[in-house]
Amino acid sequence: MPVNMAGCTTDCVEKPISICFQKFGRFVGTYPWWFFISPLFISAVLGSGFYFLEDREANDIEDQFTPVNGPAKLERQFVQQNFPQNDSVFSKQRLYTDGVYASFIAVARSSNILTDAAFQEIVTLDRKVKELNVSMGHEVLTFEGLCARRYKKCIHNKILDIYKYYGNILETTELTFPFFRFGFSYIFLGYSVGGVNINSSVIKSAKAVRLFYFLKEDNRSRTDLWLNEFLKVFPSNLSLNFIKVTHSTSLSRQVEFEANTKDVIPLFSITYVIAIGFSILSCLRFDCVRNKAWVATFGVFSAGLAVLSSFGMMLHIGVPFVMTVANSPFLILGIGVDDMFILISCWQQTSVHDRVETRLSNTYKEAAISITITTLTDVLAFYIGLITPFRSVRSFCLYTSTSILFCYIYSITFFGAFLVLNGRRENSNKHWLTCKEVPEGCPVGQSKWYELCCVGGAYDPHTGTEEVQPMNHFFKKYYGPFLTKSWTKVFVIVLYCIYLIISIYGCFQIQEGIDLRNLAADDSYVVKYYDNEKAYFSEYGPNIMVVIRREFPYWDEKYMSDLETCIEDFKNLSFIEKDIFTSWIKSYKYYGYHTKLNLSTDDVFKDNLGTFLRFYSDFKQDVNFTNNSIYASRFFIQTVNISTALDEMNMLNKLRETAQKCPVPLLVYHPAFIYHDQYAVIVSNTIQNIGVTTAVMLLISLLLIPNPLCSLWVTFSIASVIVGVTGFMALWDVNLDTISMIILVVCIGFSVDFSAHISYAFVSNKKPSANEKAVEALFNLGYPILQGAVSTILGVVVLSASKNYIFRTFFKIMFLVIFFGLFHGLTFIPVFLTFFDMCSGTPAKNKSGPEEQDMKNSHTNNIQSKAKDGELKEREIYDNHTLQPDNHRTCQSQPCSAIWMITGNNHHVQDNQMCMASTIPMFRVDSQTYEVHMYTPSDDGMLRVKCPSKLPCSAGQNCVLGNSNHIQDSSVPTPNSSDLSIL
């Protein structure tokens, strides 16, 4: 591996790739129509995959937003196998799913809902629900026919039974909370009455009442029809004076989540128009030939083709299309436009006199590594995301990574081909809109408007390239020098420290997990229902089943003592209500005590268990008593005050820890644990993905950026941006969930994009000092990076107006990623790179030595070789020289020697003197005689200076030198090979 230790550079990978892209660019430039038409044909073929879109949609919330092999899913499977549901004896707490139900919450408009007037309206609503019916063929489906039953009767809402019994004296009745003795049983009111004001367990007032209507789960197609009818009819024609009502069903969350696709389609249309508009605006030129309006349009079109091709291919293959994938086109549009700006920038730096295939060849040579680094990092970041246990993340990563690959391929084929076709038009000096040839100069007497609209083809006569845009000049003349001042660097370091402190603080404030209410649109009826549920019914949380998952000697006092200890451990948890405990074993012992049974022996315990379970049918569902053996059993504990995601996470962790510590084999389960499992893996998976991806990014940077130390700076930038995004997203009320985890993976790719462009430009340019390198890097790529960042933000800014949490979260984090990535790329990284002169590729001070002499000789030999091939014949030389003004003081102490000095960017001239016959505005080298022909402005006379074929010049020899950094003697030049450039 060739390594230049002095310059700390390595290009064994970068150089061959650049050469390959240079050759490929020439090939594309030679046959542009093939590369222009082929992507169109491929996109049309692959785009047919959208025919299968409806079949590939996979928006099941549980399947997509919960861990694939989450512990709760295995626990549910165990519960299903050992405790099958008894539809004839329905019990809500014994469900292993959420159940099939409709529900509404009535909230009092006054301070108390326990009034006769409020309950009359509630009873009216109850009657309307029970009268709902829907036709299914020749069959009419009614609530009575579909309801979940208990002893052949539909499940009642006990609070209504209480009202029917007490009537208009309910308000004066002393209802105890949470249990109320009604007849011969106790009714639990914790799930039915909310917002209670209690005095010595007696309800003084309540704010809300919640009713449930459970249906049988044996035929979901029938129950779904009835539930959809409930959603259509229930909100309409409600004239309520004393209560406000919100409603929901077991289908609502899923239905509302799937409805979000309607929200994103118009947003993407708006985004596409904005992206095209911004691209055209930023690529407009006040030159009717050099205008890049069509180039910008086809650059955005190229990104659109990439989305069409990749999505179509994935749909053809059969990859599930999840709601999260709808975010991908916004991202791809930003990436594609970013690559377009880089390619346009490099194209504008090529000579307008070259053939278009040569221009594209040079464009690819300069830009290919930069966009290859960003593509590789983005693609690998997403492919690494495939190891996550969330299917929604996997689908997003697969669709997006494939889209980025197509975007890259189309950028170097379709878009490159269009650059060539547009370049041919420019070479013919044809108008960008009419394609008619226009004059290069404005005829005498024509107006300014004529010059603007009908004259074009201008270029920089000193460089032979297209005229530099004002923003590029801003980065070189103002921003770059300002950034490299000593006091500015100190300020940047202080600013970075403040950024880092705030970011780290934010990281400790982050919340975990996705709130399921956020899967519906903000204005959805479901959100209002969840809000009321949280406001009035959060005191009593889920009723948890604790399962003894193996055979256990329940009659043995020693073993039962261990179990009792474990039960006490559960009751001692801060979120467990000790007095609400449901246990078949406790009731069986009570039964044995009153029937005088000795349940401490195996035979008696088992022989009488069947009789007990026949009397208490609810408990029969809690014991897997088969073939005279108890294979599993369960009891129930009640949680309280579980209202936030943090509460849910702590509850799940503590319950599982307590079960694991118990010597009796236990497991804990509730249907909500399926969703809570994300808390167990979200942090570890996010850290794993970020760690692996960052390591891969470092490897790619080391291979493709010809400077190991600067590759480390790229990796540092990744880590820094990730910390910033994570910290600030917490301060912006964004949780760490499956949605934000996706975008943190994106964060890595975009962090590389900004820092890699600048780092590569820094180490690859030939300026002698680190400060100059930083300025030159900003000059070349500052504006394209800024364009790419702004275009990406514009690509996602419309998502901020979305009513959906998923899309708003995507916008928030993408905004943070782009903003911090841009700030790192244009401020932090350039400043930090200047602290390490060893990264500059050339020493900070020019010293003439053997190595430099070899470089000079090699450079001269190259010139002679090219001259023999006819490539330098009569070619003008433009070497960015700073020509001395006419009033520059000439040598007075001694006669001028025969040496003509043209200096560029001189740092020091001894005694501020310079031997100059005149200001020399133009010169050329004859390729046959190697004579330098100089033209003076005074008499247009031609001065001939004979220059030998080899350097350095000896005394009496006439030479033309440029960009000398240090001239000790005005009569004897001190050439620097790195500063001598003949183009």
SS3 116: helix
Q: What is the pTM of this model?
A: 0.72
Instruction: Sketch the domain layout of the chain as residue ranges.
Output: 100-249
Could you tell me if 298 and 418 are in contact, meaning their C-beta atoms sit under 8 angstroms apart? yes
DSSP string, 903-956: -SS-S-BGGG----SS---EEEE-TTT-EEEEE-TTT-PEEEEE--SSSS--TT
Which secondary-structure segment (H or E) carries 186? strand 185-188
Choice among 319-328, 577-586, 634-643, 910-919 with the minimum mean pLDDT: 910-919
| Position with higher pLDDT, 931 vs 14 | 14
| Position with higher pLDDT, 258 vs 421 | 421
Residue 9 pLDDT > 90, yes or no?
no
* pLDDT of amino acid 399: 93
* pLDDT of amino acid 406: 95
Place of tokens 């329905």: 90
Q: How far is CA 469 from CA 283, 460, 603, in A?
A: 10, 11, 95
User: To 10 degrees, the CA torsion angle through 690, 691, 697, 698?
Assistant: 150
Choice among 364-373, 753-762, 880-889 with the minimum mean pLDDT: 880-889
- Cβ-in-10-Å burial (0-12, 13-18, 19+) of 722 comes to buried
Residue 878: name the closest of 568, 460, 395, 403 by CA: 460
Q: Encode 865-884 in three state secondary structure.
A: HHHHCCCCCCCECCCCCCCC
Residue 320 pLDDT > 80, yes or no?
yes
- At CA 315, angle to CA 309 and CA 317, rounded to 5? 100
Residue 278: name the closest of 835, 643, 798 by CA: 798
Q: Report the Cα–Cα distance between both ends of the chain, in Å, rounded.
A: 30
Residue 615 pLDDT > 70, yes or no?
yes
| Position with higher pLDDT, 178 vs 767 | 178
* pLDDT of amino acid 661: 93
Residue 647 pLDDT > 60, yes or no?
yes
* pLDDT of amino acid 162: 92
Residue 830 pLDDT > 80, yes or no?
yes
Q: How far is CA 566 from CA 338, 563, 673, 966, 980, in A?
A: 60, 5, 21, 85, 84
Distance CA 404, CA 467 (A): 32
DSSP string, 663-711: SS-EEEE-TTHHHHTHHHHHHHHHHHHHHHHHHHHHHHHHHHSS-HHHH
Residue type, 276: I
Choice among 169-178, 288-297, 865-874 with the minimum mean pLDDT: 865-874
* β-pair partners for 576: 639
Place of tokens 């008696």: 604
* pLDDT of amino acid 192: 93
Taking each continuous run of H as one helix and of E as one strand, the counts in the chain are 34, 22
Distance CA 675, CA 540 (A): 18
Residue 580: name the closest of 193, 189, 211 by CA: 189
| Position with higher pLDDT, 421 vs 876 | 421
b vs e for 69-91, b when ≥16 Cβ sit within 10 Å of the residue's Cβ? ebbbeebbeebeebbebeeeebe
Kindly give, in sequence order, each residue whose CB lies less than 8 Å from that of residue 969, ignoring residues fewer than 6 positions away: 910
Residue 855: name the closest of 752, 944, 916, 766 by CA: 766
SS3 485: coil
* pLDDT of amino acid 150: 86
* pLDDT of amino acid 75: 93
The whole-number average pLDDT for the span 248-274 is 79
* pLDDT of amino acid 476: 85
The pLDDT tens digits of the residues spanning 753-801 come to: 677 778 777 877 777 888 888 888 888 878 878 877 887 787 778 888 7
* pLDDT of amino acid 338: 78
Distance CA 98, CA 294 (A): 56
Kindly give, in sequence order, each residue whose CB lies less than 8 Å from that of residue 958, ignoring residues fewer than 6 positions away: 898, 899, 900, 932, 945, 946, 947
What is the chain's mean pLDDT, rounded?
79
Please state, for a pLDDT cut of 90, what percent of the chain lies above it.
29
Q: In this structure, how many other beta carbons lie within 10 angstroms of the beta carbon of residue 784?
A: 25
DSSP string, 620-667: HTTEEEETTEEEEEEEEEEEE---SHHHHHHHHHHHHHHHHHSSS-EE
Place of tokens 């006054």: 110
* pLDDT of amino acid 107: 94
Label the pairing between strands 540-548 and 666-669: antiparallel
* pLDDT of amino acid 896: 40
Residue 823 pLDDT > 80, yes or no?
yes
The pLDDT tens digits of the residues spanning 654-702 come to: 999 999 999 999 999 999 999 888 877 777 787 887 788 778 777 777 7
Q: How far is CA 153 from CA 89, 101, 149, 332, 710, in A?
A: 10, 16, 5, 57, 75
Label the pairing between strands 576-583 and 202-205: unpaired
* pLDDT of amino acid 713: 77
Please state, for a pLDDT cut of 70, what percent of the chain lies above it.
81
- Give the model's confidence band at 10: pLDDT under 50 very low, under 70 low, under 90 confident, else very high: low
Q: Encode 1-68 in three state secondary structure.
A: CCEECCCCEECCCHHHHHHHHHHHHHHHHHCHHHHHHHHHHHHHHHHHHHHHHHHHECCCHHHHHCEC
Instruction: Give the CA diameter of the chain.
Output: 132
- Best mean pLDDT range from 297-311, 743-757, 966-980: 297-311
Cis ω for the linkage preceding 952 (within 30 of 0): yes
The pLDDT tens digits of the residues spanning 491-542 come to: 999 999 999 999 999 988 888 766 777 778 888 888 899 999 999 998 999 9
Choice among 41-45, 176-180, 497-501, 914-918 with the minimum mean pLDDT: 914-918
Phi and psi at residue 467, in whole multiples of 5°? -60, 135
| Position with higher pLDDT, 544 vs 87 | 544
Residue 78 pLDDT > 50, yes or no?
yes
Q: How far is CA 229 from CA 100, 234, 250, 256, in A?
A: 14, 8, 13, 15
